[in-house]
Amino acid sequence: MRSDPRHRLTRRAFVKGTAALSAATALDLLQAPPGDALHPGTAAPGAGTTAGPLSAQAKFSGKLSAWGVVSFTKEGDALLGQQMAEWGRQHNVQVEYSPLPGSDYFAKVAAAVEAGALPDVVMMLGDQTIFYATQGKLVDLTDVFNEVKTLAGGMYKTLLPYVTVNGKTYAIPMEADVTVMYARLDLCEKVTGKREPPATLDALEEIARKVQSPPTLYGIGLPIGRTPDTTGNLTLMIYADGGTLVDGHGRPHLENAGVISALTRAKRWWTDKLIQPDSPSADDAWNNNAYQSHRAAFVFNPASIFAWLEKNDQDLLKMTAQAPFPKGKAGVSAQQAGTWSWAVSATSKNVAAAKALIKDIMQPKGLEAVYEKVGGRWYPVYKDLSRADFWKKRPFFDLFPGIIEHARPDWYPAPAVPQLLTQLSAARQKFVLADMVQDVCLNGRSPEAAAKAAQVRMEQAFQEALRK
């Protein structure tokens, strides 16, 4: 049986096909970043720095997938997805953005990294960037950062340690995460006669004692469960009382006067029932729930509470102030700010397009539109954006720029080196601080003994992080 002559493989057709394939492969090798082309899936940090120009004229093709954590609103997610898709349409790239549940985001990213299946563009939370960049899982985005860092008044410098390894930027901060005190002004007014939040932890305690009426209202919504909020809240209390988590060399340093003072304070609040009795089983939503259900006069949390109040409870919002964390014994008002950022996977086959996409969605105008749709939960990373109408109309956020500028990170007073950030992350995952405060409040240990035991646990966590 003779085959169809249209499908017959002739010598000429074979040579033509081989030549075309070779040309295409060569072109692909020239366009792709060295790490990707020569060692797919194993690109080292720095791969992609020579990926080509990020200019608008650059030609792209293929597909890009992006993962992020769901924002506070569906509209915010939708707009972000539209912006990416629109960029893709303009540049002949099919872009798909998937907003994913935040509760299990770390597990999903970890599994994808292990499987070499991380999407091209991926949102990194907090110091996740450092963790993966030091393992060579992310592409160096210093070139992108250099192009966006001065836009709209420039980016807040305090956010950069979360995305920088050995002077290279591995992710571009896209929102600032600020922790503040939520205070019931009506209750403050009852005690002090002034509609002002307390400026010190002692004043806060005094108001809390006078206004609370358990079980319907407790003074302080301080979580002491094994949850990130406990770690964050206790760290701020330690700073306010003059303590630190590490010393100047980045070594664990929990046996200090500030830690003892903060633990003594927490124990007093717990013993005197200023804190809800279910606090030891708190999860990350516990203090949100406590404040939103009018069961706590004061809580410390990021802006998610504001976003919820604005949408669902205007009456409570009118009685609420977002204020800096009160000063403690040391007279210090310690503040916290973190960031979520965009990174590019080292396994991406379309690094140049991924970089260009990030550069596009980091343009201030589009970014501000997303912030507004998200309803205040994501705060601008560019300084001038905080002067946009949306933020001006919400005086609640007036203090945010100052907090971000003066935020004190976990590694204070040591310099931000990737190894220390990874070690601190390991200690956080083991809930060393939460266990310490539970030792004092629930197990009857003295603050000194609890700090000593926590010091040992933290040293172990640091050692284990080094071994990994």
CB of 140 to other proteins, least distance (A): 25
The residue (of 288 and 422) whose beta carbon lies closer to other proteins is: 288
The residue (of 18 and 103) whose beta carbon lies closer to other proteins is: 103
The residue (of 196 and 313) whose beta carbon lies closer to other proteins is: 313
The residue (of 96 and 459) whose beta carbon lies closer to other proteins is: 96
CB of 117 to other proteins, least distance (A): 4
SS (H, E, C) the chain: CCCCHHHCCCHHHHHHHHHHHHHHHHHHHHHCCHHHHHCCCCCCCCCCCCCCCCCCCCCCCCEEEEEEECCCCHHHHHHHHHHHHHHHHHCCCEEEEEEECCCCHHHHHHHHHHHCCCCCEEEEECCHHHHHHCCCCECCCHHHHHHHCCHHHCECHHHHHHCEECCEECCEEEEEEEEEEEEEHHHHHHHHCCCCCCCEHHHHHHHHHHHCECCCEEEECCCCCCCHHHHHHHHHHHHHCCCCCECCCCCECCCCHHHHHHHHHHHHHHHCCCCCCCHHHCCCCHHHHHHHCCCEEEEEECCHHHHHHHHHCHHHHHCEEEECCCECCCCCCCCEEEEEEEEEECCCCCHHHHHHHHHHHCCHHHHHHHHHHHCCCCECCEHHHHHCHHHHCCHHHCCHHHHHHCCCCCCCCCCCCHHHHHHHHHHHHCCHHHHHHHHHHCCCCCHHHHHHHHHHHHHHHHHHHHHC
Site residues, other proteins (CB under 8 A): 65, 67, 69-72, 74, 96, 98-104, 107-108, 110-112, 114-117, 119, 229, 284-285, 287-289, 292-294, 301-302, 304, 307-308, 311-313
The residue (of 140 and 372) whose beta carbon lies closer to other proteins is: 372
The residue (of 284 and 448) whose beta carbon lies closer to other proteins is: 284
CB of 116 to other proteins, least distance (A): 7
CB of 310 to other proteins, least distance (A): 12
Q: Torsion angle, CA of 255/258/260/261, rounded to 10 degrees?
A: 170
The residue (of 108 and 251) whose beta carbon lies closer to other proteins is: 108
CB of 76 to other proteins, least distance (A): 10
CB of 456 to other proteins, least distance (A): 29
- 117 phi and psi, to 5 degrees? -120, 25
CB of 367 to other proteins, least distance (A): 19
The residue (of 75 and 196) whose beta carbon lies closer to other proteins is: 75
CB of 253 to other proteins, least distance (A): 29
The residue (of 78 and 160) whose beta carbon lies closer to other proteins is: 78
Contact present, 298 and 274 (Cβ < 8 Å):
no
CB of 426 to other proteins, least distance (A): 19
CB of 316 to other proteins, least distance (A): 8
The residue (of 311 and 406) whose beta carbon lies closer to other proteins is: 311
The residue (of 62 and 116) whose beta carbon lies closer to other proteins is: 116
CB of 172 to other proteins, least distance (A): 20
